[in-house]
């Protein structure tokens, strides 16, 4: 079955003012929705990937070159993608190429599943679990955007700028979604504030493992001190310092497992990280590890070297969530609850409701053909109109925070 067309639709959707080590989320988050149309027109494979304009430009170069290729030939399609993006200026990096491979592979797998009547997890080797636990992704946040939300809807979450605010946010996430573990996004306040927040979460929810992720905001000495204080409090500490060498120095002095989605983000970075014993958990992410099959392969590799496997997320919608869920279903080595931003953005999804419902903090793996989710074309059109109207083309957390604090310096490590 051959590919007739790849339709690429950039979308924008409201996002709350969530703080991180580089700034704050803008009123709109960006994504790209892919529709891979096959010859007979009845089968359309879905995909979702980054909304940044550079990725979009690369996808647009690739789209016409896919026409006529077999949708099952995903390995050969990587060569087609590489040849197509060679025309890009500036020349794409290996990471940029891999992100395009990932996006195309997911749309192909969805189409293959629809053609064969099998869920994507079957195409990945079969499901080893039927439900996938996710963690509550907690953010320090402002009560509202300075100029209000993009669509004028009042922010239902309220402010969370200290330990009490974070415990309130966590309680609400747990009440609404049933999450059984907590991820705290740090790197926003001085480390002692974030240590106090992690401790408060642990005390308020003693049965919920807590992880903390300051996205490389600390120096090695600071990270060593925080790790010593949080041993026994956290299940893992994610990217306390930038770079694999710093991670190795911190890891050498603590029993707390160190996790990363920043310093090991591709297969060619694994050997050095292993040699240095720099990370004890890798966060997979099919959007940049090369797709769903590569994510399953990463599980094998992690197991080989005794490294744990978790899953990273970024602001996303339901096609990505479905793909993450299928990857998790087919990866035996993935034993941590996965990250997801979905509670922050899911109200603006482009897939029809009914499939992606959290029960006890977990998603049932969709059993329908392909990814098992259906596109809501009206919602897609609305989100695309917002994209066009907004004029936004790249994510800029730092620039947005600077509107409020013009002297804001995003240089890391900060503490």
The catalytic residues are 185, 312
* Residue written as token pair 């099959």: 293
CB of 302 to Mg ion, least distance (A): 16
Among 55, 114, 312, 316, binds ligand GKR (CB under 6 A): 312
Choose from Mg ion, ligand GKR, none: what does 145 bind? Cβ within 5-8 Å by kind. Answer: none
Q: Please give the Cα distance from 281 to 380 (Å, whole number).
A: 36
Q: Please give the Cα distance from 133 to 151 (Å, whole number).
A: 31
CB of 139 to Mg ion, least distance (A): 12
What does each C-alpha distance from 11 to 29, 56, 97, 351 come to in angstroms?
8, 11, 21, 13
Site string for Mg ion, 259-278 (x = CB under 5 A): --x-----------------
Among 3, 6, 12, 18, binds ligand GKR (CB under 6 A): 18
78 interacts with ligand GKR by CB under 6 A? no
215 interacts with ligand GKR by CB under 6 A? yes
DSSP one-letter code for 270: H
Among 105, 122, 213, 349, binds ligand GKR (CB under 6 A): 213
Nearest to 356 by CA among 308, 320, 305, 331: 320
Go through 42-56 and write b for each residue having 16 or more CB atoms within 10 A of its CB, e for each that does not.
ebbbbbbbbbbebbb
398 interacts with ligand GKR by CB under 6 A? no
CB of 314 to ligand GKR, least distance (A): 5
Among 213, 235, 349, 386, binds Mg ion (CB under 5 A): 213
- The length of the chain is 415
Choose from ligand GKR, Mg ion, none: what does 110 bind? Cβ within 5-8 Å by kind. Answer: none
The CA-based dihedral angle spanning residues 31, 37, 38, 42, taken in that order and rounded to the nearest 10 degrees: 120
Bridge partner list, 334: 309
The reply to whether omega before 371 is within 30° of 0 (cis) is: no
Residue 32 exposure: Cα atoms within 13 Å on the Cβ side: 29
Q: Please give the Cα distance from 406 to 397 (Å, whole number).
A: 13
Task: Choose one: 32-40, 221-229, 231-239, 301-309; the region binding Mg ion (CB under 5 A).
Answer: 231-239
CB of 29 to ligand GKR, least distance (A): 9
261 interacts with ligand GKR by CB under 6 A? yes
194 interacts with Mg ion by CB under 5 A? no
C-beta separation of 124 from 291 below 8 A: no
314 interacts with ligand GKR by CB under 6 A? yes
Residues numbered 315-354 forming contacts with ligand GKR, rule: CB under 6 A: 315
Angle (CA) 147 341 270, round 5°: 125
CB of 203 to Mg ion, least distance (A): 24
Contacts with Mg ion, residue ranges (CB under 5 A): 213, 238, 261
Contacts with ligand GKR, residue ranges (CB under 6 A): 18, 20, 185, 213, 215, 261, 312-315
């Amino acid at each position: 079955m051959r590919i007739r067309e790849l339709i690429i639709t950039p979308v924008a959707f409201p996002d709350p003012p969530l703080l991180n080590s580089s700034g704050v989320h803008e009123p709109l988050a960006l994504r790209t929705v892919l529709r891979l149309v096959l010859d007979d027109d009845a089968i359309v494979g879905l995909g979702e990937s980054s909304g940044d304009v550079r990725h979009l430009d690369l996808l647009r170069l690739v789209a016409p070159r896919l026409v006529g290729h077999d949708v099952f030939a995903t390995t050969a399609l990587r060569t087609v993608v590489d040849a197509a993006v060679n025309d890009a200026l500036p020349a794409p990096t290996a990471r940029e190429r891999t992100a395009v491979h990932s996006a195309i592979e997911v749309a192909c797998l969805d189409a293959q599943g629809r053609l064969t009547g099998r869920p994507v997890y079957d195409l990945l080797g079969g499901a080893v679990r039927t439900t996938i636990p996710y963690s509550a992704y907690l953010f320090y946040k402002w009560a509202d955007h300075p100029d209000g939300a993009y669509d004028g809807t009042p922010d239902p979450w309220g402010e969370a700028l200290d330990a009490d605010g974070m415990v309130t946010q966590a309680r609400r996430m747990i009440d609404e979604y049933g999450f059984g573990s907590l991820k705290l996004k740090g790197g926003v306040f001085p480390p002692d504030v974030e240590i106090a927040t992690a401790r408060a979460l642990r005390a308020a929810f003693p049965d919920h493992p807590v992880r903390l992720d300051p996205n490389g905001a600390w120096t090695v000495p600071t990270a060593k001190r925080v790790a010593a204080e949080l041993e026994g409090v956290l299940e893992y500490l994610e990217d306390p310092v930038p770079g694999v060498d710093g991670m190795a120095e911190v890891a050498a002095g603590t029993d707390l497992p160190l996790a990363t989605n920043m310093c090991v983000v591709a297969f060619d970075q694994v050997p050095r990280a292993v040699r240095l014993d720099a990370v004890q958990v890798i966060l997979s992410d099919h959007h940049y590890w090369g797709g769903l099959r590569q994510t399953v392969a990463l599980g094998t590799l992690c197991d080989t070297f005794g490294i744990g496997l978790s899953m990273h997320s970024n602001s996303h919608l339901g096609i990505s969530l479905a793909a993450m869920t299928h990857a998790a279903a087919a990866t035996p080595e993935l034993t941590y609850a996965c990250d997801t931003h979905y509670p922050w953005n899911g109200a603006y999804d482009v897939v029809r409701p009914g499939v992606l419902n959290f029960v006890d903090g977990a998603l049932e793996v969709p059993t329908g053909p392909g990814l098992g989710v259906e596109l809501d074309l009206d919602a897609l059109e609305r989100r695309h109109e917002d994209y066009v109207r907004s004029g936004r083309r790249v994510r800029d957390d730092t620039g947005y925070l600077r509107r409020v604090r013009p002297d804001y310096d995003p240089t890391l490590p900060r503490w």
